[in-house]
Amino acid sequence: MGDFKHLVVAKFKEGVAVEEIVKGMEKLVAEIDTVKSFEWGQDLESQEMLRQGFTHAFLMTFNNQGDFTAFLSHPNHVEFSTTFSAAIEKIVLLDFPAVPVKAPK
């Protein structure tokens, strides 16, 4: 079985201090043990047309769906979500069991 993934693709509002938001997210995942891994990035390569205005991707990995559900209702996550929601212009959010096709050698 693969892991359970929580993917957030976001465009921030103009003037938002994205570094502060990312710091908040780093603190959040450090505080909550059920977050198995977390990585993020800012788009470098895509043509504007293909990224549709989105600039950042955030990917959290959980051992299973139950851990993800627990994360969603964790008070620290609920609190952070309010801050995050206020900072974004648009968002796409996908939650899925990961199908690992090719694993790192």
Q: Residue 29 forms beta bridges with which residues?
A: none
Q: Of 17 and 93, which CB lies nearer to a second copy in the complex structure?
A: 93
Stretch of 12-20, 25-33, 73-81 lying at the interface with a second copy (CB under 8 A): 25-33
Q: Is 44 left (phi over 0), alpha (psi -120 to 50) or beta?
A: alpha
Residue 96 phi/psi, 5° resolution? Answer: -155, 150
Residue with tokens 């892991």: 3
Residue with tokens 């979500």: 81
Verify binding: residue 66, a second copy, rule CB under 8 A. no
Q: Of 33 and 79, which CB lies nearer to a second copy in the complex structure?
A: 33
* Among 57, 76, 51, 80, CA closest to 6: 57
Q: Which residue of 16, 57, 70, 87 would you call a contact of a second copy, by CB under 8 A?
A: 57
Verify binding: residue 65, a second copy, rule CB under 8 A. yes
The residues of the shown chain that bind a second copy, judged by CB under 8 A, are 2, 5, 7, 9, 25-26, 29-30, 35-46, 50-52, 54-57, 59, 61, 65, 68, 90-105
